[in-house]
Each structure stands twice: as structure tokens, then as C-alpha cells.
Structure 1
Amino acid sequence: MKAFVTVLQVIAALGLIATVLLQSGRSAGISGVIAGGAEQLFGKKKGLDDLLSRLSAIAAIAFLLLSLLLSLI
């Protein structure tokens, strides 16, 4: 049981790392400031960024719950 939960936790950790790394940054550097990067901060996330944001939240919650479960086993 413990080995199975550990494998699930490793999968959740790798998924969390992958989704965070695939997300675009919050600022686009100096060119983002000049070209109106503030719109991106206050605008609604769309498409792939929204999907990756939701997937990273799910992976983080799964990692947290699996960590708590492993501490109880």
C-alpha cells in the first residue's frame, strides 16, 4: 500500500513540475511593459494557460493529499 501511494506521489510531483514549467511567465520582460503587458495581468487567462493553471492546482492538491496520506501510513 505504501509503495503504491509513493508511486502516485511521484507521478503527482512530476505532473506538478511539468505543468508549472510549461506555464508562460507572468511578465514578458521589458518588451511586455512597453507593449501593454499590464493587460495580460488583469485580463482573463485563456486557452492553454488556463488549462495548465487548473492542472497544476489539481496536481498540487493531489501531492498534498498524498503526502498527508503517506505520513499516516
Structure 2
Amino acid sequence: MLTISFVRVAAGRVSGTLAPYADPETGAKLFTTFEGRIGGDTIAGSYTTHVAGAGGGAADTQTGEWTVMRRKP
């Protein structure tokens, strides 16, 4: 399970940081930040994950996109 350690919502935007977690394949410590836009029942954005102690090159960083939608009862 991933834990959000910080989240900020302002002016239709959301940003935050996940608590550090272990890569399930290598055990390396990972740090992830995310940001997105709120629109109606959807929040969509991007994330960036860095490997702890790595040199900071492209191989040490992963980026991607995410989307969540509110379910109505």
C-alpha cells in the first residue's frame, strides 16, 4: 500500500508527495511526487518517481500519467 505524506489542493489543482516506499522488484527506496487538475468528477495528472541515492540520470527517474474518477452511488 502506498501512503500520501503530503497533499495540497488549491485553485483547481492538486499536488503532493508519497511517503518513501520500496521498489517491489529491487527493494530500492523510491520517492514520488504528483500533480494534477481537478475537473468535475475527474482528477488527472502526472507523477515523477526517483530512486534514492541514484545519480539523477534518466534511468533513475520514471514519469507517467494517472486519472481518478469519482463513483456516484
TM interval, shorter chain, is under 0.3
TM-score by length of 2: 0.22
TM-score by length of 1: 0.22
Of Structure 1 and Structure 2, the greater helix share is in 1
Of Structure 1 and Structure 2, the greater strand share is in 2
Name the structure, 1 or 2, with higher relative contact order (CA <8 Å, separation 6+): 1
